[in-house]
Chain A
Amino acid sequence: MQGTRRVLNAQQDATLAVLTDLILPATDTPGAKAADVNSFIDLLLAEWVEPEDRDRFLKGLADVDTRAHAAFGKDFIQGTPDQQTALLVALDDEAARWKASPEATRGREPFYRTLKWVTLFAFFTSEVGATQEEHYAIIPGRYVPCAPADTLAPTE
């Protein structure tokens, strides 16, 4: 996919790929990589967002590298999985603290929160995420008002 991006350069694309796959890894179902969330995020950056929001997102990706250099002296993508995960834990904690602060009602959300939302959206609206993780049925065929909570899909 690299080289076909319209906004993301190779470094940004690789950084985003690691981040999104840490957020939604392959488990018993495919993860962010299999759902190609990077392609959709690149599309949004190219066609959908305002220029200032695109710049904020790209700055956020650059900031991940800044933090990586401070934490382990390398680009984020060159860290070990443990180093990458530790950095993401810190970002996740910061976002949770932001959400609980008065800033959440007025300020701009941190880059990481945007990243988390767009990763979720790109994954669950992909065919892979919608069908294999969510068991989304285009035509459920019926409405079951009180199905067991672990029901995967409508059953006849």
Chain B
Amino acid sequence: MPKTYDAIVVGSGMTGGWAAKELTEAGLETLVLEAGRPITTADYVEHVPPWQMHFRGLDDRKKRSADQPIQRECYACDEWSSKFFVNDHDNPYTTDPDKPFLFLRGRQVGGRSIMWGRQVYRWSDLDFEANLKDGIAIDWPIRYADIAPWYDHVERFIGISGEKLGLPQLPDGQFLKPMELNCGEQVMRDAIAKHWPGERVLTIGRCAILTEDHLGRAACHYCGYCERGCVTLSYFNSINATLPAARLTGKLTLRPFSVVHSLIYDKQRNRVSGVRVIDGETKHALEFRARVVFLCASTLESARVLLNSATPDFPGGLANSSGELGHNLMDHIMGGGANGKITAPNDKKPVGRRPNGIYVPRFRNLAGGPKSPFLRGYGYQGGAGREGWGRGADLPGFGAGWKRALRDPGDWGFSLYGFGECLSNHNNYVEIDNTKNDAWGIPVLKIHCAYGENELALMKDASIAAAEMLAAAGAREITPYIEVNPPGKAIHEMGTARMGRDPKTSVLNAHNQAHDIPNLFVTDGACMVSTANQNPSITYMALTARACDYAVGAMKRREI
């Protein structure tokens, strides 16, 4: 008789790590299945300088374009960190020819939490109520009050640095001391405050990087390259924080190289009884059993597992009586912004590499404010810096005097880069492409996704408003732009198994529990009903912790 675990968690990344921690700390024997290889802090390379890299950071571009032509579109998939991204030939997917989608993935213990962007912004009721007020898609089944204590819970553990602002649209959290704005950013902050008092604010990014020692993890040492790892565990990821906490309980079994094929459905009991796994190394088929299953494999992979788990009772995918599974795929639109040169103290420069920038919270379509000709809004990330030696290519001259001139910092530049909300759209969806399998023989996704008019309008406005703010600060050489980025590039994909009150229009209930199958939970980005414009990971983590608490209670009550 094979062992039956109390819980199986599929995925060991951002949300899988949290499910592992919460479930094991509640006393459940928990099996975490990770598709990729095990990594440890010995895989971290943030302190390897350019001169120790074969191409000094220019990357092995021939190998990258051969093996990772899609993954390389992510800024973090570079000569150091490309090992944290998948091989595109082993992990194919398909799209419509006219609708490109970038599926950017990390398969290893820790998943994409290893090289995530680390920005952390709470949502507010402006976000949770938006669909209801605008008549878009369906209403969220929860409000800010439901999730606020779980934001607190998650933030206290992971350690967030940030500045409290008291803004209704961007609630404050449990913050360690903020990182500091440099002189150029202070100039911009003051100009924005002067020109748009009470409307626009520039603050230091709120990020999951420690500015103080915290729960056995050390404060940041400003080496600057979190996406390459962190031997001092100063930024949050699964292997730095949640998985070690889960391991401490003695209740964790972590199995790498476990590619989940599908879930096993027990029709008599209407329960998921376990998962089918292909061993990543031997390619042998295996099965594991548990009382409850948490899918934390990512928005697209969790949808894929459920779609690949179709049964005669669920021909369109497991837990899909609503027909919404795989649908409503969203990703933040990004890339409307502006650059310019600002006037800031010439005798000052920042020293040290702060792995964080500035944030300008959403200021469009706020409660009680003016209405824009589009729905929702956007926020900016960016920052100020001084040009370095790279400007030498266009600095006339050469020789000793020219070399000496490059030693001094160059002009102050400023960048504002917009991230906008993406509206839910049933016609953006994924399905199984039965003509193609991945390297483990598992059918892949066909992704149908494109941005709509509202997203494009947001980025156009973000570009104009960024140029306005630079102008207000007296910037020169202002360059507004709108990048054309395919969906997926923000790596904030969401929505393929959305929460909701009505089982006819949603896959999950208010506790991330499948309406159709009570012992099945999905707590990654698949659960999201809308995207807001804030970086989503903290909300996934808070929802995961909340769902774990609910599941443990339901198990104790013998409901599942």
Contacts and interface: CB of A to CB of B under 8 A. Distances in A.
B61 A121 contact: no
B182 interface: yes
A73 interface: no
A134 interface: yes
B45 to A, nearest CB: 12
Given A23-B398, A120-B393, A140-B353, A149 B348 contact: yes
Interface stretch (B47-55, B125-133, B270-278, B438-446): B47-55
A145 B61 contact: no
B271 to A, nearest CB: 51
A92 interface: yes
Contacts of B352: 140-144, 154
Contacts of B354: 143, 145
Contacts of A85: 399
A111 interface: no
A60 interface: no
Contacts of A136: 49
B51 A88 contact: no
Contacts of B51: 125-127, 130
Interface residues of B, number: 49
Nearest to B401: A27
B51 to A, nearest CB: 4
Contacts of A130: 49-51
B348 A147 contact: yes
A26 B403 CA distance: 9
Contact of B222 (A113, A124, A142): A142
B42 interface: no
Contacts of B345: 146
A149 B222 contact: no
A139 B223 contact: yes
A149 B221 contact: no
A146 B183 contact: yes
Interface in B393-433: 393-394, 396-400, 402-404, 407-409
Nearest to B61: A48
B55 A48 contact: yes
A23 B398 CA distance: 5
Interface in B366-401: 388-390, 392-394, 396-400
A86 interface: no
A151 to B, nearest CB: 5
B295 interface: no
B351 A139 contact: no
B49 A116 contact: no
A115 to B, nearest CB: 10
Given A127-B51, A154-B352, A145 B182 contact: yes
B180 A145 contact: yes
25 contacts: A22-B399, A23-B398, A27-B400, A40-B56, A43-B55, A44-B58, A92-B398, A120-B389, A121-B56, A125-B57, A127-B49, A130-B49, A130-B50, A130-B51, A138-B47, A139-B47, A139-B222, A140-B221, A141-B222, A143-B180, A145-B182, A145-B183, A146-B183, A147-B349, A151-B351
Interface of B: 47, 49-51, 54-58, 61-62, 179-183, 185-186, 221-224, 345-354, 388-390, 392-394, 396-400, 402-404, 407-409
Given A48-B62, A130-B49, A134-B388, 10 more contacts: A23-B399, A40-B56, A44-B55, A113-B393, A127-B49, A139-B221, A141-B221, A145-B180, A146-B350, A147-B349
Question: Which 10 pairs from chain A and chain B are nearest by CB?
Answer: A143-B352, A140-B352, A125-B56, A125-B50, A145-B180, A145-B182, A117-B393, A147-B351, A144-B351, A23-B398
